[in-house]
Amino acid sequence: MPKIVPVILCGGNGTRLWPRSRASKPKPFLPLLGDRTLFQSTLDRCSDHEMFDPPTIVIGEQHLEFARAQAADVPGDPLFIVEPMGRNTAPAIALAALALDPDQIMLVCPSDHHIVDPDAFRSAARSAATLARDDWMVSFGIAATSPETGYGYIRRGEAVGDGFRVHSFVEKPDMERAITFLADGNYAWNGGIFAFKACTYLAELETHRPEIFAAVSTAFERGNRDGETIRPEAAEFAKVEKESVDYAVMENTQRAAMVDVSMGWSDIGNWDALVEQRGSGTQDNVVVGPGEIIGSSGTMIDSDGPHVTVVGADNIVVVVDGDDVLVVSRDAVQRVGEAKRCSGT
Amino acid sequence: MPKIVPVILCGGNGTRLWPRSRASKPKPFLPLLGDRTLFQSTLDRCSDHEMFDPPTIVIGEQHLEFARAQAADVPGDPLFIVEPMGRNTAPAIALAALALDPDQIMLVCPSDHHIVDPDAFRSAARSAATLARDDWMVSFGIAATSPETGYGYIRRGEAVGDGFRVHSFVEKPDMERAITFLADGNYAWNGGIFAFKACTYLAELETHRPEIFAAVSTAFERGNRDGETIRPEAAEFAKVEKESVDYAVMENTQRAAMVDVSMGWSDIGNWDALVEQRGSGTQDNVVVGPGEIIGSSGTMIDSDGPHVTVVGADNIVVVVDGDDVLVVSRDAVQRVGEAKRCSGT
């Protein structure tokens, strides 16, 4: 069985975990859960060399050194594709597809998600790769475990191979609809993990977004390669429209499929999600770094130095990072981005 | 009219305002409200030289330099009495009484209270001094404005001079009784401000606590004086029993009187009280130092350096002091003392 190429996307600024995550050192490169960073854990999940080729890593210049250093203990040389600037996922994946052999199977993985059960991940990857070989464009359909309003959903269609056709992609629902989806059982979360053949992706992109395809192709051709580092040409890549793979391709293709997976997934999209992953119960307090919690429940301290004391405050997150202290209620974590200090630090 | 001698007591560790207030630099010496420290404002209130003699300041060795520096702009030389160790207020006041002429009127003032209306303070001081000249032991009876359970109360008796006899001193009540006291109108807060003649105080102390009187007198006699600094002998002073002026004298004397005063008084006994003094309404947010408050009400930031951002957390106090960060709910401020880091810093 031919191997799968992991394509690790390192875009995104992760400001929802500000101040720990910053543009200068964003979320994938932080050890948020355990000793390994999310980026390293993503590589670890794809390090089975019976199953995977060395990864292709798409990343911005400003984070390249983090990625190189953190990938150093991964056997085999990763291929780095350095984006001159962020243009969202459709162009990023196109760069990787152009760098691979046309028939190689790409497994596109965000670099900043947490997955409790890597065996379930790999099992789903095998099923997805099998479908991809038949030119399906495959999404991981992550078993919904709560009525989340922050994710897009995938509605399951008829069975095909080890998976299903996609009936439809559904935008982030309101709470009422999210509850309906959860009860229905035919709706899965769209976690942004995809499998397809490189040539299939490029053909679909050319069909549905010919301008993006053309501009990315030109930038790639005019770029340079130095060993295992590819740099597309900045002037051409700057012209590429920003668009997600979901909007550009997945929602338009006639060959959308999905595989079901239940793997303890979280995108750790905010501080509340991180408290949930770190604690073992909703009432649990979590202390990372020097701190003490008195008379509180569901509260987290995460300090990189100063000693934090919390007294009588439930469901609060306190983060100290350098010269910044954030105190946020767990039900207000979506508003962290409003902080003046959050932009550009 | 003979002048009044302000006797400023600088004992107490003020750990209820930890981490800003610490044993190494306690509450009286911090500019908690405005540019002047509470100690300086206490001196300012007694700086009318028509009415007051230079103050006598009773203080521990470890804080003497703060007090000297902060008293530098007070005209006239204060007398410093340096306590070898803290022995509560009855011995501290006795040291001051021994240092003064027997007939001088002492106005005993804590150094860490906030008073909005200094004219009302001075007016009450005049009334109290007049009673003190007739050998009354006079307490300031502070007009209660809320049903406080954290203060002792003074119950008003029959009128005498510009004040009243004290019917009785009442221990800190529970909420039900505090509400009754407030409605009754004959109960005032005992704010720890007293006026009496030096010889009257010493006579009362000798009557009711002869051991304290004897030990303090010996320590004072065996001490030394260097200009305007008096140091009682440590070995003798160490033998003195710790007791408050309330328990030792005021609750036992047959000559207890009180004067009514309404002067916008607060002992700023915890972080909640400080938020109240700093804000102009209960919903107000307060930011002292670099900080931003988003989607919150009744919340205070007080930082000595790092930038604090609070998001969606009501009625929270965040204090940054050196290497300590405190986050406390305003309804849990009484528990700050439970923090491990609070002791001995």
Here the ipTM equals 0.89
In the prediction, which pLDDT does A342 show? 87
Structure tokens at B96: 């001051």
* Interface touch A341/B306, C-beta < 8 Å: no
Tell me if B313 and A328 make a contact (CB, 8 A cut-off): yes
Test the A interface: residue of B309, B316, B328, B345 with most A CBs within 10 Å: B309
CA distance A204 to A200: 6
Distance from CA of A57 to the nearest CA of B (A): 34
φ/ψ of A141, rounded to 5, equals: -100, 105
| A294, A308, A323: residue with CB nearest B325 | A308
CA distance to partner chain A, nearest, from residue B16 (Å): 12
Amino acid sitting at position B76: G
Write out the E strands in B187-323. Answer: 187-197, 224-226, 229-231, 256-261, 265-266, 286-288, 291-294, 300-303, 307-311, 316-321
Residue A196 structure tokens: 């397809």
Tokens linked to B125: 């001081």
* Whole-angstrom distance, CA of residue A284 vs CA of residue B65: 46
Instruction: Using the structure block, give the residue that is written with the tokens 């103050």.
Output: B55
Q: Which residues of A touch B332 (CB under 8 A)?
A: 295, 311-313
Structure tokens at A300: 């987290």
How close does chain A come to B303, measured CA to CA in Å? 10
Q: B292 to chain A: nearest residue by CA?
A: A339
Token pair of A65, please?
């050194």
Residue B328, chain A, CB below 8 Å: the answer is yes
Which is it for the CA torsion A158, A159, A160, A165, positive or negative?
positive
Which residues in chain A touch residue B342, judged by CB atoms under 8 angstroms apart? 309
Asked if B339 has any chain A CB less than 8 Å from its own CB, the reply is: yes
Contact B179, B228 (CB under 8 A): no
pLDDT of residue B127: 98
Q: For position B344, what pLDDT does the model report? A: 55
DSSP label at residue B226: E
Q: Do A324 and B313 touch (CB under 8 A)?
A: no
Look at residue B59 and tell me whether its pLDDT is greater than 90: yes
- pLDDT tens for residues B190-202? 999 999 999 999 9
Closest to B311 (Cβ–Cβ): which among A294, A309, A328?
Answer: A328
List residues bridging with A259 in a β-sheet: A140
- What pLDDT does A344 receive? 56
- Candidates B22, B300, B301, B307, partner chain A, best to mutate (most A CBs within 10 A): B307
* Chain centre to alpha carbon of residue B306: 31
CA atoms lying within 13 Å on the CB side of residue A284: 13
**Structure token digits, residue B336:** 């700050």
What is the distance of C-alpha B304 from the center of its chain?
25
Which residue in chain B is spatially nearest to A299 when comparing CA positions? Answer: B327
Cβ <8 Å between B336 and A311 = yes
Question: Do the chains contact at B341 and A307, CB–CB below 8 Å?
Answer: yes
Give, for B326, the enclosing helix (H) or strand (E): strand B324-329
Touching check for B335 and chain A: CB below 8 Å? Answer: yes
* Residue pLDDT, tens place only, B151-188: 999 999 999 999 999 999 999 999 999 999 999 999 99
Q: Which two tokens stand for residue A16?
A: 């929802």
| A327/B333 CB distance under 8 A | no
| Residue of chain B nearest A293, judged by CA positions | B339
Residue B201: the pLDDT is: 98
Strands B229-231 and B307-311: unpaired
Model's pTM, two decimal places?
Answer: 0.90
Test A325 with B318 for CB contact under 8 angstroms.
Answer: yes
CB pair distance less than 8 Å for B335 and A294 = yes
Dist CA A182 CA A178 (whole Å)? 6
- Contact between B108 and B9 (Cβ < 8 Å): yes
Considering only the beta carbons, identify the residue of B19, B295, B327 that sits closest to A310.
B327
Cα–Cα distance measured from residue A205 to residue A92, given in angstroms and rounded to the nearest whole number: 12
Residue numbers in A near B305 (CB within 8 A): 323
Count of CB pairs separated by less than 8 Å, A with B? 125
Which residue is listed with tokens 């350096």?
A: B305
CB contact under 8 A, B292 and A332: no
Q: What is the rounded distance in angstroms from the CA atom of residue B29 to the CA atom of residue B41?
A: 10
Domain positions in chain B are 4-266, 271-342
**Segment 268-327 of chain B within 8 Å of chain A by CB:** 292, 294-295, 303, 305-313, 316, 318, 320, 323-327
Which residues of chain A have a CB within 8 Å of the CB of B327? 308-311, 313, 316, 318, 327
**Taking the C-alpha atoms of B251, B252, B257 and B258 in order, what is their torsion angle to the nearest 10 degrees?**
-10
Return d(Cα B17, Cα B273) in angstroms, integer.
Answer: 10
Residues whose CB is less than 8 angstroms from the CB of residue B176 and which lie 6 or more positions away in sequence, other chains included: none
Q: What is the mean pLDDT of residues B209-213?
A: 98
Among A292, A327, A335, the residue with its CB nearest the CB of B316 is A327
Three-state SS at B189: strand
Q: What is the pLDDT of residue A248?
A: 97
Q: Do B271 and B319 form a contact (C-beta atoms < 8 A)?
A: yes
**pLDDT tens, N- to C-terminus, chain A (345 residues):** 789 999 999 987 778 999 999 988 899 999 999 899 999 999 999 999 999 999 999 999 999 999 999 999 877 799 999 999 999 999 999 999 999 999 999 999 999 999 999 999 999 999 999 999 999 999 999 999 999 998 999 999 999 999 999 999 999 999 999 999 999 999 999 999 999 999 999 999 999 999 999 999 999 999 999 999 999 999 999 999 999 999 999 999 999 999 999 999 999 999 999 999 998 777 899 999 999 999 999 999 999 999 999 999 999 999 999 999 999 999 999 999 999 998 754
Distance CA A125, CA A145 (A): 20
Task: Return d(Cα A201, Cα A196) in angstroms, integer.
Answer: 6
Q: Is the pLDDT confidence value at B246 over 70?
A: yes
Contact criterion met (CB below 8 Å) for A56 and A33: no
Residue count of chain B: 345
> Within 13 Å, how many C-alpha atoms sit on residue A342's CB side?
21
Q: Which among A294, A305, A341 has CB closest to B309?
A: A341
- CATH architecture of the region A4-266: Alpha-Beta Complex (3.90)
Q: CA distances (Å), A303 to each of A233, B60, B309, B323, in order?
A: 40, 36, 14, 11
Rg (CA), chain A: 20
Distance between B309 CA and the closest CA of chain A, angstroms: 5
Mean pLDDT, residues B319-337 taken together: 96
Look at residue A283 in the predicted model and tell me its pLDDT.
81
Q: With CB atoms and an 8 Å threshold, state whether A305 touches B323.
A: yes
Chain A contact for B50 (CB, 8 A cutoff): no
As a three-state string, the secondary structure of chain A is CCCEEEEEECCCCCHHHCCCCECCECHHHCCCCCCCCHHHHHHHHCCCCCCECCCEEEEEHHHHHHHHHHCCCCCCCCEEEEECCCCCHHHHHHHHHHHCCCCCEEEEEECCCEECCHHHHHHHHHHHHHHHHCCCEEEEEEECCCCCCCCCEEEEEEEECCEEEEEEEECCCCHHHHHHHHHHCCEEEEEEEEEEEHHHHHHHHHHHCHHHHHHHHHHHHHCEEECCEEECCHHHHCCCCCCCHHHHHHCCCCCEEEEEECCCEECCCCHHHHHHHHCCCCCCCEEECCEEEECCCCCEEEECCCEEEEECCCCEEEEEECCEEEEEEHHHHHHHHHCHHHCCC
Check CB contact under 8 Å for B312 and A305. no
Q: Is residue B258 within 8 Å of B244, Cβ to Cβ? A: no
Residues in chain B closer than 8 A to A343 (CB atoms): none
Q: Hey, what are B229's tokens?
A: 């600094």
Q: Using CB atoms, pick whichever of B307, B324, B338 lies closest to residue A323.
A: B307
pLDDT of B280 above 90: no
